[in-house]
Chain A
Amino acid sequence: MSDEASAIPLADVLRAANELVSVGLIKDFALGGALAAIYYTEPVTTYDADIIFVASDKTLSAGIPIYSYLQSKGWRVEREHLLIKDFPVQFLAASGLTEEAVCEARQIQYQGVPAKVFRPEYIIAIAASVGRHKDLARIEQLMSQAKIDKPLLDDILRRYNLNLPKQ
């Protein structure tokens, strides 16, 4: 990729996710993971985009039709990722906390493409539930750089029986 701005084709990713909603393969989606955190914090290195979706039909394995549909649109598959313009994207089915995070996600426009991005309180709660080193770093960054709705965060943590790591 020669053009700097095109190195992360996020608008294309979000456009494709909207298309999946239009054709009825998914009900809703939001940007999650590191790119969602970066919406609220300083930029950090990340090598993929996470799209968390609510499946239209939860009785089916939602991932397979998504992969087939996007492959027919020119996306490549590489292990658990789908690649658009060589940029890896993971489509992850939402459930429980992540489904609530999709439903409550913030509406945004990215280069004119409508999308949703997880709220920081949900990114923190999800990171607390996963607990890897990079998740703990993400929590620290969000707590120090983003505007956090503390009562909302406490409510999410209490309902999902989660604790923040000790500082």
Chain B
Amino acid sequence: MKPEFRRDLAQLPFEEKIRKVAELIRLSRKVKADRLGEDSQNYPQSEIRDHATLRQTTNGETK
């Protein structure tokens, strides 16, 4: 972001800036949630099963 634009943002009334912070929080939570969703979709179910089996085997719970 250009420094002039950032300086303009700094001049906004405090209440307006607080509203923008709230928007930033919402956006960052949405990005995080979307990323988590993508990760679980991209990870093949068979691999998830294999990992679960491996973990159980390692723990000695599955013979």
Chain A: residues with CB nearer than 8 A to chain B?
4-5, 7-8, 10, 35, 38-47, 108, 110-111, 144-146
Contact = CB atoms under 8 A, between A and B. Distances in A.
Interface stretch (B15-23, B34-42, B52-60): B15-23
Contacts of B21: 8, 35, 38, 43-46
A42 to B, nearest CB: 4
A55 to B, nearest CB: 27
Contacts of A7: 22, 25-26
Contact of A38 (B3, B17, B28): B17
A43 B18 CA distance: 7
Given A5-B22, A43-B12, A144-B7, 19 more contacts: A5-B19, A7-B22, A10-B18, A35-B18, A35-B21, A38-B18, A38-B21, A40-B10, A42-B9, A42-B17, A43-B20, A45-B28, A46-B25, A47-B25, A110-B14, A110-B15, A111-B15, A144-B3, A145-B6
A48 to B, nearest CB: 10
B24 A44 contact: yes
Interface of B: 3, 6-7, 9-10, 12, 14-15, 17-26, 28
